[in-house]
Amino acid sequence: MSGIQDEQRQQLIEGRHHDPFSILGLHGAPDAAELRVLIPAAHRMTVLASDGQSAVCDLPLIEGSPGLFVGPVPASLAKSRDYRLKAESDFGTWVFDDPYRFGPVLGELDEHLISEGAHRQLWRVLGAHPMTHQGVEGVHFALWAPNAKRVSVVGDFNAWDGRRNPMRSRGHTGVWEIFMPGLSAGEIYKYELIGADGQVLPLKADPYGFGSEHPPKTGSVVRRLDDHTWHDSDWMAAREKRNKIDRPISIYEVHLGSWKKVPEEGDRPLSYIELAQDLVAYVQDLGFTHIELMPISEYPFDGSWGYQPVGLFAPTIRHGVLEEFRALVEACHASDLGLIIDWVPGHFPEDAHGLAQFDGTPLYEHADRREGFHPDWNTLIFNYGRREVSNFLIANALYWLKEHHIDGLRVDAVASMLYRDYSRAPGEWVPNVFGGRENLEAIDFLRRLNEVVYGEVPGIMTVAEESTAFPGVSSPTNAGGLGFGYKWNMGWMNDSLSYMSKDPIHRKYHHHKMTFGLHYAFSENFILPLSHDEVVHGKGSLLDRMPGGGEEKFANLRAYFGFMWGHPGKKLLFMGSEFAQGGEWNHNQSLDWHLLAHAWHQGVQSLVRDLNQLYRDLPALHQLDSKPQGFEWVEEGAHEESIFAWLRYDVARQRPVLVVSNFTPVERRDRRIGVPCSGYWAERINTDSHHYGGGGRGNMGGVQSQAVAASGRPYSLTLTIPPLSTLIFEFQGT
């Protein structure tokens, strides 16, 4: 058996050879060429001409080497390298192209960039890609697994037998690749790896796969990336101005699986196509500017809500395939809605088919679990200091923004990334090189992430869910910041919800909770978030958290929403809250849409719609959201009355807006509030309006100022401030 040593032969038939392309396929000079084919279970192998019909010769089966066929072939065939094979076994006969007659797909530049951790389009070279290679259609598979001794792609196409299609090693890059002729989109596959210790690992899903099987199945699915023709060029050209800090940004946060279900079909969730119609139309009608989706990267466990992803490059199959997800994106843009997705680079689960111990070593995670394990979530932490891992994550961010026209990334759990001692007791964490608690590698990663995505994808936004006082989260990286566009204002959310949960009789003792946020409101570009985290884990719905009986609960919630929309900062509201969802959010069931048959719930929905419209219409409510020049206290210390009043200004300071909130159940008649301008102040929002389910008390549409000084201002308004209400006035001149 020319050219194959006994040890190599044994490694081949056992599926343990690290370099199968050095043995299998055609080898030798054309006039003495030898063809070697390994198909376990086959007992006959015939070499066919390129037409797949004409027999050229048979290859003998090597004695004592099951499935290994080796024999000479004609010089003409060896020169053309154009042939097919016919295998016969007890299970049947089939004709196929030999993967080992094809050269590599990856080029030297790809190898260099991958090795340097600098390949910005990593998803274009790794993963599974249908293509035509050397004139033949098939799928190219490529995977990074530097410590594996052997990697094979497996699927129905090779009976899930890792001995059949071991891949080509690209040496120092750690990449393995193979072109599989005859395969196409829709093929289910995984990778079988032999680790550094020689043990066969559990089958792994493709970290770069663009599709997945329906859970609980865990296979990857070949999907095409280039089949979509985009029709959103107008949106893409204009979106940069829509995401800027001087524009109205009001975000509707959605969990796609529980927004609305189809009870007639087993309570299934809506598909991407259905959501493109129903969800988009609903959010547009309510006047939000953006939709934010809780994680849609593929994940195995429904109860994680997507925050423990396994397939970072695959839109979850729960609602349809990749192409249908793009239809949802395009529907948003056609309706002038931006689409933000929750992106999770902070951790990943230990599921056997995922990234954990991917090649038998801690490849994506840290080896030391004091650095690489999250005790809160039982998940692993990415090793941000490893350039290939950082490249993997940054490329993933670019993938969503470029390939799917996503308008923004809300980065989950940033606080857990920034600090090595996050949720850890002394002795359970490893200090940085300077002995501190900051995760320097994660900080560097986040800065590079923002530099890259803002540099390469015009008009997008990044948002940090960051709950600490880490400085400069939304400051430019060249000024020492992390470079995010926006930061969630968790302090405002915690303080204001704490205040609102108090019985009104006690609120005067907690007045500072509603004013303290203005001490730091302009230190970052803030978003005010009332997110899914505030309506789960026993917290109840927002309505549940309001004190009092039914009518008072609704009045409190309406007043709170008015306070929020009048407060500096962009807005985010979780689904269901816009119509005062009655119970706590449950990811297993639909929102309580039936509640909209009741006037109070309809009223809250109408209020949110009107608040969004006013927020868009009045520059004073959004133009200087992140600048102190846009805000001025009028009544900051009226704690006995639980009244708050402030002014909002636009850049021109010609159309100020007055916001007044009363968080007691006491009507304040003839209450004088100082204003800077003489003239008519139109009452644009009154949360006590009959239209919203309130008592209908107010100021008959507006108030003329008087030349009576109050609150340190030369003019004042004499107002009726309804109980548990927020009023928003717009100055309309003399």
Strands (E), 199-242: 220-221
Q: What is the mean pLDDT of residues 558-579?
A: 98
The arithmetic mean of pLDDT across residues 458-475, rounded, is 96
Dump pLDDT digits (tens) for 181-234.
999 999 999 999 999 999 999 999 999 999 999 999 999 999 999 989 999 999
Residues tagged active-site: 412, 465
Residue 91: per-residue pLDDT: 87
Write phi, then psi, for 673 (nearest 5 degrees). -125, 125
- The mean per-residue pLDDT over the stretch 2-31 comes to 88
pLDDT interval class at 2 (50, 70, 90): low
Give me the amino acid identity at 129. Answer: H
Burial (CB < 10 A; 0-12, 13-18, 19+), residue 652, is exposed
Residues 6+ apart with CB under 8 A from 650: 618, 619, 620, 623, 624, 630, 656
pLDDT at 401 over 90: yes
Q: Residue 617 has which token pair?
A: 């219409």
Residue 91 has which token pair?
Answer: 């299970």
- Round to whole Å and give the CA distance between 218 and 212: 7
Q: Which two tokens stand for residue 319?
A: 């609602």
pLDDT of residue 5: 83
- pLDDT at 731 > cutoff 80: yes
- Per CATH, 230-488 and 624-731 having the same topology is answered no
The yes-or-no verdict on residue 64 having pLDDT over 90 is: no
Q: How confident is the model at residue 420 (pLDDT cuts 50, 70, 90)?
A: very high
**SS3 of 108, please?**
helix
- Torsion from C-alpha of 358, 359, 362, 364, nearest 10 degrees: -50
Q: Is 416 helix (H, G, I), strand (E, B) or coil?
A: helix
Output the pLDDT for position 227: 85
Q: What is the mean pLDDT of residues 130-147?
A: 97
Q: Which long-range contacts (CB under 8 A, 24 or more apart) does 321-326 make?
A: 321/211, 321/223, 322/210, 322/211, 322/223, 322/225, 323/223, 323/227, 323/228, 324/271, 324/272, 324/273, 325/272, 325/296, 325/404, 326/228, 326/230, 326/404, 326/405
- Of 199, 252, 140, 92, nearest to 579 (Cα)? 252
pLDDT digits (tens, 9 = 90+) for 71-105: 999 999 999 999 999 999 998 999 999 999 999 99
Distance in angstroms (rounded) separating the CA atoms of residues 290 and 283: 8
CATH architecture classification, 624-731? Sandwich (2.60)
- What pLDDT does residue 584 have? 96
* Structure confidence by residue, pLDDT tens digits, 595-616: 999 999 999 999 999 999 999 9
Helix, strand, or coil (residue 297): strand
The Cα–Cα gap between 395 and 211 comes to: 17
Q: How many residues does the chain have?
A: 734
556 vs 191: CA distance, rounded Å: 55
Say whether 671 sits in a helix, a strand or coil: strand
What is the pLDDT averaged over residues 644-667?
Answer: 97
Could you report the per-residue pLDDT of 271-308, keeping only the tens digit for each? 999 999 999 999 999 999 999 999 999 999 999 999 99
pLDDT of 63 higher than 90 = no
The CATH class of the 108-221 domain is: mainly beta
Superfamily of segment(s) 230-488: Glycosidases (3.20.20.80)
Share of the chain above pLDDT 90, in %: 94
At 492, the pLDDT band (50, 70, 90 cuts) reads: very high
DSSP 490: H
Residue 503 has φ and ψ, to the nearest 5°, of -60, 135
Domain extents in the chain: 6-101, 108-221, 230-488, 624-731
The model's pTM is: 0.95
**Looking at residue 83, what is its pLDDT?**
94
Q: Give the C-alpha separation, 195 to 191, whole Å.
A: 12
Q: What is the tens place of the pLDDT at every residue in 512-525?
A: 999 999 999 999 99
Q: ∠ at Cα 184 (180, 190), nearest 5°?
A: 65
Cβ–Cβ under 8 Å, residues 461 and 290: no
> How far is 598 from 700, CA to CA, in rounded Å?
26
Whether the predicted pLDDT of 637 surpasses 70: yes
Average pLDDT of every residue of the chain: 96
Instruction: Name the one residue in this structure whose structure tokens are 């993938």.
Output: 399
pLDDT tens for 328-359 read 999 999 999 999 999 999 999 999 999 999 99
**What is d(CA 111, CA 131) in angstroms, rounded to the nearest whole number?**
19
CATH class of 6-101: mainly beta
Residues 543-557 pLDDT 10s: 999 999 889 999 999
pLDDT at 3: 67
386-421 per-residue burial string, b: 16 or more CB within 10 A, e: under 16: bebbbbbbbbbbbbbbbbbbbbbbbbbbbbbbbbbb
| Averaged pLDDT for residues 700-716 | 96
pLDDT number for residue 1: 45
- Evaluate whether 438 touches 418 at the Cβ level (below 8 Å): yes
pLDDT of residue 688: 98
Beta pairing partners, 194: 150, 200
Phi-psi region of 52 (alpha: psi -120 to 50; beta: other; left: phi over 0): left
Residue 381: is its pLDDT beyond 70? yes
Share of the chain above pLDDT 70, in %: 100
**Overall average pLDDT of the 403-429 stretch:** 95
Question: Residue 649 corresponds to which amino acid?
Answer: Y
Query: Binning pLDDT at 50, 70 and 90, where does residue 171 land?
Result: confident
